[in-house]
C-alpha cells in the first residue's frame, strides 16, 4: 500500500514510537549493583547536568552543595530550577517527561508526593517498567576496568540480565598511562614503567582477563580533542600495540568518544568537563590503516559533525553513533540528524542515551525519537515529491535499522 504525504506524520510517528531500541552507550548498571543502580527522583535531580544548572544561580557554593546529603541536594535543585524558575532546559524538561510517563502531575509543591511514588517501586519492577516504557531491547553499560567499586560486582551474576550488556571502558590506559601501568602492575601484570613489547602483551592480557569476566560488546575510551592516531606518544603506542590488536583478536569494535576536556572546573566534579574540536583527518588515517576494524565514533564538538559525516562516507568501517552529551539537545539532534541523513541515508546510529539514572531512558529516548521522526517525515515528504513511492513496510525497515539494526550490525550481532 503506497503511503500518501499527508499520512506520513502519523505512520512515521507511530512506527518510531513503537520501534525497539538498542541503546549503544549508557552508564547504567543492573539492579544487582545496589548503590550503583541509580533510579527515582533524587537520582534524577542530582544528575550532573542539573547540578551545574543549579549552581549557576550562585545561591550556594559547589563545596557547600556537595557537602549536602543527596536528598538535600535534590531539594536545592528542585527549588532552584523547578520552583523559583521555569524548568525549560532540556535536562529539566526530561525530569518532567519521566514524571508524566508515570502519570504524575508534577507541580512546584509535589516533590514529597513524587518521592512517595518512587518508594513503591522495587528495583526489578522499576527496571521492567522503564525498559517497557522506552521499548528497549538492551542497553550497553560503561564498565570501567579501573573502577574497583564497580569491578567488585563483576562475575556471572553481573551479566545475567541480558538487558544490560557490557562495554569494557579503559580511559586511564590512554589518558593516564603511567598511573594505569602502575595499577596493572599492582594487579600482577608486568606493565611499564616504559612501553615495550612485553608491556603491550601484558596490557592485552589485562584486557583479556577483564573481558573474560563481562563479555564486552566493544572496547571503549573517552579521549581529549588532542587525540591523534600514531602520534608517537606512549598513548599512541598503547592504542596501536595493545588496544587495536586486542579488538582484532576478539573481533569486537573499538568505540572512541572524542573531544572531552576533563575538569576545566574541578569543583563541579562530574559536571566539570568541557569540550574541544578534534582532528577527523587523524581518524580517517586510523580507519584507512585498519580496514578490518570496526570503529564506533562519536565526537563531542558540534563543529566536528559535518567532517565526521564526510569521513563516514569514505570509510564503511567508521560507524557514527549518537548525539553525545552537550549535543543531546533537540536543536542539535535535529541539525545533526538532518546532516547525517542527507549524507549517509539510513546507514548511521542516530542516538544513544548516555543515561546514568534508570528513568532517564524514558525521556532521553522520547525526546530523541520525536526529533528523528520529524526528520524522517521531512525526508520522506521530499522523496514522495520526486514521484518515488513508499510503503509502510519500507518505512518500518528504515526505522528498525536506525533504532536497532545498525547498532546490532556494528556490534557483529
Ligand atoms: O565519558 C562519557 O561516557 C561521558 O558520557 C561522561 O560520562 C559524561 O559525564 C556524561 O555523563 N555525559 O552525558
Ligand atoms: Zn557517557
Closest C-alpha to ligand 1, atom 8: 325
Q: What is the band of 278 on the pLDDT scale with cuts at 50, 70, 90? A: very high
Q: Which of 320, 352, 383 marks a domain boundary?
A: 320
Write out pLDDT tens, residues 320-335: 999 999 999 999 999 9
Ligand 2 centre from 169 Cα, in Å? 10
- Are 104 and 223 part of one and the same domain? no
Confidence of residue 163 (pLDDT cuts 50, 70, 90): very high
Q: Choose the final residue of a domain: 277, 299, 320.
A: 320
Q: Which of 287, 319, 323, 330 is nearest to 304 (CA)?
A: 323
CA of 93 to the centre of ligand 1 (A): 19
In terms of residue numbers, what domain contains 270?
167-320
Domain count, the chain: 2
CATH number of the domain residue 88 falls in:
1.10.2020.10
Return the pLDDT at 376. 99
Query: Best mutation site among 25, 90, 325 for ligand 1, i.e. most ligand atoms within 8 A of its Cβ?
Result: 325
The residue whose CA has the least distance to atom 13 of ligand 1 is 325
Of the bound ligands, which one is closest to the alpha carbon of residue 263? 1
Q: Are residues 183 and 295 in the same domain?
A: yes
Which tens digits make up the pLDDT trace of 94-109? 999 999 999 999 999 9
Q: Is residue 82 part of a domain?
A: yes
Q: How far is the CA of 26 from the centre of ligand 1 (A)?
A: 8
Residues 175, 116 share a domain: no
Residue nearest atom 11 in ligand 1 by C-alpha distance = 354
Longest dimension (CA), the chain: 66
Tell me which of 281, 304, 320 is where a domain ends.
320
Name the band, by pLDDT with cuts 50, 70 and 90, for residue 294.
Answer: very high
Is 390 domain-assigned?
Answer: no
Same domain for 223 and 113: no
Q: Give the CATH number, domain containing residue 257.
A: 3.20.20.140
| 376 assigned to some structural domain | no
Ligand 1 atom at shortest distance from the alpha carbon of 354: 13
Indicate if 198 and 68 belong to the same structural domain.
Answer: no
Q: Which ligand is nearest to the CA of 26?
A: 2
Would 279 be classed as within a structural domain? yes
Does 305 map to a domain?
yes
pLDDT at 366: 98
Same domain? 172 vs 114: no
- Whether residue 225 lies inside any domain: the answer is yes
Question: What pLDDT score does 342 carry?
Answer: 98
Protein residue closest via CA to atom 12 of ligand 1: 325
Question: Is residue 231 helix, strand or coil?
Answer: coil
Q: Residue 260 Cα, ligand 1 centroid: separation in angstroms? A: 9
Tell me, yes or no, whether 171 and 314 share the same domain.
yes
Q: pLDDT at position 90, please?
A: 98
CA of 24 to the centre of ligand 1 (A): 13
**Distance from the alpha carbon of residue 257 to the mean position of ligand 1, in angstroms:** 9
Are 27 and 142 contacting, i.e. CB atoms less than 8 angstroms apart? yes
545561591: which residue's cell? Answer: 59
Q: Which atom number of ligand 1 is nearest to the Cα of residue 25?
A: 3
Residue 243 belongs to a domain: yes
Residue to probe by mutation, ligand 1, list 26, 139, 220, 222, most atoms within 8 Å of CB: 222
Lining ligand 1 with CB less than 6 A are 27, 142, 222, 257, 270, 325, 354, 356
Rounded to 5°, angle at Cα 223 from 170 and 295 = 75
- How far, in Å, from the CA of 141 to the mean position of ligand 1? 12
Q: At residue 164, what are phi and psi to the nearest 5 degrees?
A: -120, 100
Same domain membership, residue 171 and residue 65 = no
- Evaluated on CA atoms 139, 161, 100, 115, the torsion sign reads negative
Average pLDDT over residues 68-76: 98
For residue 270, the ligand 1 atom closest to its alpha carbon is 9
* Co-location of 111 and 176 in the same domain: no
Phi and psi at residue 2, in whole multiples of 5°?
Answer: -70, 140
Q: What is the pTM of this model?
A: 0.98
**Whether residue 76 is found in the same domain as residue 199:** no
pLDDT at 393: 98
Q: 407 CA distance to ligand 1 centroid (A)? A: 19
The answer to the question of residue 335 being in a domain is no
C-alpha cell at 241: 600495540
> What residues does 168 pair with on adjacent strands?
143, 219
Residue 134 DSSP class: T
How many A from CA of 352 to the centre of ligand 2?
9
pLDDT at 369: 99
Pocket test for ligand 1, best of 94, 270, 299, 354 (most atoms within 8 A of CB): 354
Q: DSSP 3-state assignment of 367?
A: helix
Amino acid at each position: 500500500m503506497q503511503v500518501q504525504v499527508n499520512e506520513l506524520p502519523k505512520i512515521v510517528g507511530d512506527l518510531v514510537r513503537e520501534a525497539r531500541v538498542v541503546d549503544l552507550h549508557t552508564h547504567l548498571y543492573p539492579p544487582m549493583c545496589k548503590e550503583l543502580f541509580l533510579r527515582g527522583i533524587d537520582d534524577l535531580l542530582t544528575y550532573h547536568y542539573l547540578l551545574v544548572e543549579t549552581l549557576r544561580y550562585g545561591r550556594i557554593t559547589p563545596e557547600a552543595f556537595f557537602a549536602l546529603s543527596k536528598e538535600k541536594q535534590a531539594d536545592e535543585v528542585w527549588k532552584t530550577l523547578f520552583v523559583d524558575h521555569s524548568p525549560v532546559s532540556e535536562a529539566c524538561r526530561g525530569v518532567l517527561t519521566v514524571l508524566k510517563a508515570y502519570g504524575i502531575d508534577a507541580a512546584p509543591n509535589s516533590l514529597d508526593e513524587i518521592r512517595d511514588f518512587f518508594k513503591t517501586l522495587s528495583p526489578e519492577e522499576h527496571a521492567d517498567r522503564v525498559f517497557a516504557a522506552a521499548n528497549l531491547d538492551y542497553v550497553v553499560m560503561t564498565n570501567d576496568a579501573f573502577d574497583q567499586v564497580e569491578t567488585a560486582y563483576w562475575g556471572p551474576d553481573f551479566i545475567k540480565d541480558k538487558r544490560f550488556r557490557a562495554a569494557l571502558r579503559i580511559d586511564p590506559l590512554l589518558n593516564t598511562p603511567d598511573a594505569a601501568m602502575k595499577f596493572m602492575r599492582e594487579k600482577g601484570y608486568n606493565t611499564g614503567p616504559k612501553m615495550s613489547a612485553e608491556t603491550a602483551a601484558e596490557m592485552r592480557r589485562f584486557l583479556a582477563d577483564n573481558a573474560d569476566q563481562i563479555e564486552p560488546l566493544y572496547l571503549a575510551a573517552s579521549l581529549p580533542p588532542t587525540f591523534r592516531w600514531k602520534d608517537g606518544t606512549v598513548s599512541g603506542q598503547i592504542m596501536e600495540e595493545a588496544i587495536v590488536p586486542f579488538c582484532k583478536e576478539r573481533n569486537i569494535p573499538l568505540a572512541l568518544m572524542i573531544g572531552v576536556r576533563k575538569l576545566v572546573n574541578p569543583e563541579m566534579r562530574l559536571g566539570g568537563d568541557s569540550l574541544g574540536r578534534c582532528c577527523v583527518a587523524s581518524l580517517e588515517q586510523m580507519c584507512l590503516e585498519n580496514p578490518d576494524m570496526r570503529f564506533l565514533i562519536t565526537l563531542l564538538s558540534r563543529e566536528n559533525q559535518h567532517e565526521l559525516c564526510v569521513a563516514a562516507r569514505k570509510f564503511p568501517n567508521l560507524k557514527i553513533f549518537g548525539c553525545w552529551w552537550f549535543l543531546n539537545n533537540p536543536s542539535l539532534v535535529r541539525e545533526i540528524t538532518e546532516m547525517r541523513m542527507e549524507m549517509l541515508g539510513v546507514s548511521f546510529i542516530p542516538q544513544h542515551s548516555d543515561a546514568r539514572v534508570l528513568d532517564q531512558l524514558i525521556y532521553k529516548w522520547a525526546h530523541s525519537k520525536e526529533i528523528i521522526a520529524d526528520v524522517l517525515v521531512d525526508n520522506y515528504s521530499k522523496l514522495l515529491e520526486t514521484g518515488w513511492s513508499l510503503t509502510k513496510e519500507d518505512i518500518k525497515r528504515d526505522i528498525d535499522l536506525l533504532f536497532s539494526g545498525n547498532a546490532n550490525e556494528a556490534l557483529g550481532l
